[in-house]
Amino acid sequence: MKRAVLLDVSAIMYRAYFANMNFRTKNEPTGAVYGFINTLLSIINEFKPDYMAAAFDVKRSSLKRTEIYSDYKSNRQSTPEDLVTQIPRIEEVLDAFNINRYKIEGYEADDVLGSLAKKIAKQNIEVIIITGDKDLSQLVEKNITVALLGKGTEGEKFGILKTSEDVINYLGVVPEKIPDLFGLIGDKSDGIPGVTKIGEKKALAIFSQYDSLEKIYDNIDNLKNIDGIGPSLIKNLINEKDIAFMSRELAKIFTDLDISVEESGLQYGMDRERFYSLCKVLEFKMFIKKLGLEEKPQNPTLFSLEDIREKKDSPKVVEETINEKIEFTKEINLNLTNRQLLIIDSESSLNEQKEYLTNYKKIASIYYESLGIILSTEDKDLYFPLNHGGLLAKNIDKNLVVNFISELDIKFISYNFKSLLNLGIKFKSMYMDMMIAYHLISSQTKIDPIIPITEYSTLEPKDFKTAFGKINVELITAQDFSKYLSDISIGILAIFNELNYLLKKRRFI
């Protein structure tokens, strides 16, 4: 079965913008464009589609839903100016890949995606919708899958909703009942009100007995028999019946818009010269090198406009054509399942791991942020808390850790060894600093390791702000910080093989 991928452009570009806010040339911001390209390449590499299309949103003032509810999406902040200026560039990226753009006045990207998906699926083509919006889960059916950005587990980039069971596990109801669910709980992100004081937990309790608004209101007197549903909630349901049904209408995705879809309009392929010119202007040296854009391809490549069909058989998106063949060697065999995460907060717990670490002769990553050090081997993570506060905090003596690590015969890799050297650690082997490796490959210097990890692996560790918000740093527990730090340290291990290969291929080492 052939496969079509549909892009929710707004979801991808917003995510890209906030992940790369500091990227810019002398003349313009470029972070959203950079992140969009990176995500697009990941999508093509992951799903290897035969067809692609992109859906755009329109201005809120033109939406048909505002005729139903004037405050629909009125709670949303205006698009950041730096992102607005990058939208034409994102359109240029899509044009360079010959991906058709769809936008219909009065309707949201969700409606465009829903209508495209239904029409394409009827042609016996598998459809995958790339989005960050849970609303689109209501479209899941036999030939339609929703891939949620950043929701993957066990190192996967995408959370895949392919069946009704997947949607039930994600939201608690089958796809076709999602609008009814939102009729009760609303959706703050879209300004859908829902019924006062009914959250997801109580709504799902009601849905376990009555799975539609009609059934709920037909049995309104029986709701008192459901645990947690008291008189005040029933009163809210009665008083806000119109709001519940209106909220359901707002949550329904249109799937019958008048969109002409032909196979020729869904085919795509990279126009190498056009994309190279764009990358040149935006100073995206990494993509120029990664895709070999300066070289004239001797054979059709994954993105060859001359023969789009070749992409299905291509094993790798970023393959380059060079005369000298550099063999890809896998020095790290990372175990992402059943890993141990240990907190080493005393001399006795350190001694318990001494034999293991003394005998470990492979590559390990080590990383430091303000509260402690994480050391990750192929199958285990050890966290050394140094600066946690609070009454129950327990830290290990820094000098004990520094001296212990300094004696280990491990091939250490890190992202910015300088911070660890400043603690006084004298490494026997600093095998590779991934920050320097990333700079050599991409011509960019990023203190934050999250960008190269998401770029060169399927892992998506959270940054500090996402993980902890505005909490007082000293009050973060060792358990919480160790998980946050281990995700980064594992990510450093995960990108080593690829970056090491690229460094060799480009003769940096």
Distance of alpha carbon 413 from alpha carbon 367, whole angstroms: 9
Q: Which of 205, 209, 194 is nearest to 241 (CA)?
A: 194
Q: Domain total for the chain? A: 3
The pLDDT score that the predictor gives to residue 154 is 57
CATH, residue 128: 3.40.50.1010
Residue that has been written with the tokens 């991906």 in this structure: 99
* Residues 249 and 275 occupy one common structural domain: no
DSSP H or E stretch at residue 385: strand 380-385
Name residue 225's amino acid: N
- Answer yes or no: is 321 within a domain: no
* Residues 208 and 272 occupy one common structural domain: no
- Answer yes or no: is 330 within a domain: no
- Answer yes or no: is 231 within a domain: yes
* Residues 157 and 211 occupy one common structural domain: no
**Structural domain ending residue among the three candidates 255, 287, 317:** 255
Distance of alpha carbon 252 from alpha carbon 177, whole angstroms: 10
- Answer yes or no: is 239 within a domain: yes
* Residues 290 and 435 occupy one common structural domain: no
Query: Which two structure tokens, joined as six digits, stand for 94?
Result: 């899509």
The pLDDT score that the predictor gives to residue 482 is 96
* Residues 344 and 287 occupy one common structural domain: no
Cβ count within 10 A of residue 491: 28
* Residues 494 and 380 occupy one common structural domain: yes
CATH, residue 472: 3.30.420.10
Q: pLDDT for 262-305, tens place per residue?
A: 888 899 999 999 999 999 999 998 899 888 898 765 554 444 44
Residues of the chain scoring pLDDT < 70: 153-155, 296-326, 442-446
Q: pLDDT for 423-448, tens place per residue?
A: 999 999 999 999 888 877 766 656 78
The pLDDT score that the predictor gives to residue 296 is 65
Give the residue numbers spanning the domain of 233: 172-255
CATH, residue 179: 1.10.150.20
Distance of alpha carbon 292 from alpha carbon 319, whole angstroms: 8
